[in-house]
Structure formats: structure tokens, C-alpha cells
Amino acid sequence: MRNPRIAIIGAGASGIGVAKALKEAELDFEIIEASRRFGGNWQPDGPTSKMYDSAHLISSRRNTQFADFPMPDDYPDYPGHALVFEYLRSLAEHYGLPAHTSFNTRVTRMDKTVGGWRLEFHDGRHADYDVVVVCNGLLGRPELPAVARNCPIPSLHASEYRSCEQLRGKRVLVVGGGNSGCDIAVDAAQAAQRAYHSTRRGYHYMPKFIDGRPTQEWLMDEAARFPEEDQYWEHVQKSFKFAGYDGRDFGLPAPDHDIRACHPILNSQILYYIGHGDVTPKPDISRIDGQDVHFSDGGSATIDLIVWATGYRVDLPFIPTEVYDWQNEFNALFLRMLPALHDDLLFVGYLNTPSGIGNLANITGRFVAAYVRARMHRSDAWRTLMQMKQQPGQLDLGQQRFMDTGRHAHEVDLWKFIKTLNFLTARLQTLPQTAPLEAVQ
């Protein structure tokens, strides 16, 4: 039986994780990367980079590293972006992935063929593959709110932000309450003439360290002490408040959602600078007149520069919508990976969880390798999986617990996702017969 030829589009952390697993499974693959090196968004520069000087991991080293290739011992608990990039490069080198990678190669179109997919490249070449795994990431296209259109104030999206020198001496408004928005607001506190931070609602803030440990590690350790989830989260919130991380104590509005319903904001400095008057919190923008920004509470501020930290949208322009309507069907992906109408197309890395990438990439990569092998054999487990993916709503990945916002469109419950994916991988790895997959439901 001929091994399928597999294309992996994107050499970021997810693409590296898939390639690593396919190599371990002795499957034939090629990574296709538009830039000149590994690292995806973690590259210090280049077409896909989203890095700014102050960018660090928000998940700890222990929770971000690939367990079978740990980060160096001299890395801090929260490495900066340059160290993360170097780690991903070293990881790819360690597993021999450069020999399987076509750099500076951008996919411009992919079309269905009888045996799989034909990929066209920017230089006019094309190649045929049996299976395609798309890993170009959630941060495809910057998202801007309606109020940003035709904005007369000089503006930039967070994707264009590189250092606090862009803010130096200006009256700066940072819009957006996610982790990047909080990072940039902290930079503005130190460099801008005046720093404002506009958010739509109140949030739950988490420190990066608590009780002498990285917060995620403390959270995992503390969970074992409580028999009920509600008791655990009550304890967590009391601990954060005692540590000084309740936004209400700094004049911010109370969150309109449960702490479990939002992707965590880990930042030890934003409330500090608000408390010292170096960042002035503001609600949502109502309108912009010249250099004056008016807010929903009736207040206003004169602004020299706006930084829109307002998120991203998935962008897959190389996939014709008549082949796969990714603009309308992407959120219906089974396991956040498998489209209903194609068994030779997978999407990896298009989900959010409150964790680092390493172990998720390993787990997801093993699933992809098992899936490809089971598809080769048309095993019973694979056929059952193909039936299951026609009814994605029946699979509980914990989506219901999260807020109904664009920021949380790709959020899943970490432990439910891991448990489900490990179960399915184990069944797919058993050839040619296996136990019924329906048990996962």
C-alpha cells in the first residue's frame, strides 16, 4: 500500500507539531512555508510575524514546551519572543524538518483532484498531494471594528505594533482587552505622554505568578484540592483578589461573565499602572470626531495615535470557496479540524485553550498521523469517524461554557478536548478492527 503524500501548509508551532508526528509515523510529507524560516507568528520579523519587543509567553515554559523536547533549563518561566522563536527553530532542527520543508513558497490556490489536491505556488509551479493539512493559524487577517473605518486619527493594528518607540510622547489610546491589548497598554504607560485603554466590558485578570509559581501551574496544582469545580473557582477568585487582581478594586466594571467563560488575561502590570494613574481606563468608543474620541459613558479624550488590539480573523484565500466554503463553514469543523465534505483535508491549530502549544501540538499531531494511516486502510474506526463528523453538534468540547463573542469562536475546554482527541487517536491507531467510536459521545 502506497504511503500518501501529505502537504503541511505553514511552519509555525502547529505545522512543526504535525510534521514531527508524521515523521515519527514514517509518513511522507512536505512542509510548505511562505517565509524563509520556521516559527510562524513567533518570527522576529517577516510576513507572518506579530511580535513586539515586550511580547512574552502568557503560558509558562512548562506548559508551553513540547514534553519530549523541553525548553533549555536557563529559560525563564515566561520566555520572551526571541527565545520562543529560537526554541521552535531548534525543535524543527532536532527532528530533521528542514529537509522536508520548502521555504519561501507561498500557496496561491488549491483545487480538488481525483486523487487529492493540486497546490499552485506563487512562482507558477504546482504539485499534487493526497492529503493537505492547513496550519497557517488563527491570526490570519487583522480585525477592525466599524468605528476604525475612515478614522481620522493615525492608527495601527496590533499586528503592526513593534515597540514602545511608536508610542513615545504621544497621547495613545489602546483599544481591546485581550492579552496583546493589555501588553501594549502597559508599554504606553511607560512611553506615551498619556495612555488610555478602551475595553468593552469588565474582565477577570490573572497575575502571571501567584504563591511563588507561574499561575497556570498553581491553577493545575490547586485543582486537585477541590472535589467540586465551583469550590475550586471560588477559591481561585478569592486568591486573585487577595493578591490584588480584582479589576473592581481599581474602578473597573465588574465582569459580565463567569471566570470560566473567557479566555484568561494574564498580566501582572495592567492593574498596577491603572492604580498608579499611568493608564486611564475607558469604556467602548461611541464615535470619533477629528482627534477627539468619545466614549459610551459620555467622556472623551484627545488622541494622537490609536492602537487597535481588536483581534484577527481566519484567512484562507488560497482555498476557493466553491471547493470549501471556509468563510461560512469554518466554525462547524469537527474537532475544530475536519470539514464535513472532505476526508483528505485537515486544519490544525485553529482553536484556543488556556494552555501552551507544546503538548496540544503533540496530541494533535499524533491524531493527524493516526487519521492518515486509518484512512489509508479505510479502517472501521475511520469509517465511523467519517459518520460522526457529519453531526459535529453532538460532540461536547465544552464550547457552551464560553462567551458568544468573536474572540471565543474557536475556544474549547482544554481537558475535554484532550480526552476526546486521545480517545479517538487510540481507536484510529488500532488496525484494521477497533472498538466503536460512538463511546466518545
What long-range pairs does 403-411 form, CB within 8 A, spacing at least 24? Answer: 403/257, 403/261, 403/262, 406/143, 406/311, 406/313, 407/178, 407/263, 407/311, 408/261, 408/262, 408/263, 408/352, 409/331, 410/138, 410/331, 410/336, 410/350, 410/351, 410/352, 411/263, 411/351, 411/352, 411/353
Of the CA atoms within 13 Å of residue 56, those in its CB half-sphere come to 18
Residue with cell 501548509: 9
- What is the predicted pLDDT for the residue at 408? 67
| pLDDT of the residue at 138 | 87
Q: Identify the pLDDT of residue 37.
A: 95
pLDDT tens sequence across 244-258: 999 999 999 999 999
Whole-number pLDDT of residue 398: 67
What confidence category does residue 441 fall into, taking pLDDT thresholds of 50, 70 and 90?
very low
Q: Is the pLDDT reported for residue 329 higher than 90? A: no
**Tens of pLDDT along 145-175?**
999 999 999 999 999 999 999 999 999 999 9
pTM of the model: 0.93
pLDDT of residue 439: 45
Residue 285 has pLDDT above 80, yes or no: yes
Rounded to whole angstroms, the Cα distance separating 180 from 171 reads 19
Question: Predicted confidence band at 440 (pLDDT cuts at 50, 70, 90)?
Answer: very low
CB atoms within 10 A of CB 397: 20
- 20-34 mean pLDDT: 97
pLDDT at 12 over 70: yes
- Give mean pLDDT, residues 190-210: 96
In sequence order, what are the residues at sequence separation of 6 or more whose Cβ sits closer than 8 angstroms to the Cβ of residue 216? 59, 60, 63, 266, 354, 355
Cβ(173)–Cβ(193) under 8 Å? no
pLDDT at 392: 64
Q: Which domains does the chain have, with CATH numbers?
A: 5-140+314-440 (3.50.50.60), 145-207+244-308 (3.50.50.60)
**Cα–Cα distances in angstroms (integers) from residue 218 to residues 158, 211, 278, 303, 367, in the given order:** 30, 8, 30, 40, 29
Can you spell out the DSSP letters for 388-403? HTT-GGGS--SGGGS-
Quote the mean pLDDT of the chain.
Answer: 92
How large is the average pLDDT for residues 86-100? 98
CA 126 – CA 69 distance, rounded (Å): 34
pLDDT for 438 = 47
Per-residue pLDDT tens digits for 95-142 = 999 999 999 999 999 999 999 999 999 999 999 999 999 999 888 899
- Residue 125: per-residue pLDDT: 96
Asked whether the predicted pLDDT for residue 403 surpasses 90, the reply is no
Percentage of residues in the chain with pLDDT exceeding 90? Answer: 83
Sign of CA dihedral 90, 131, 109, 118: positive
pLDDT in tens, 1-10: 568 999 999 9
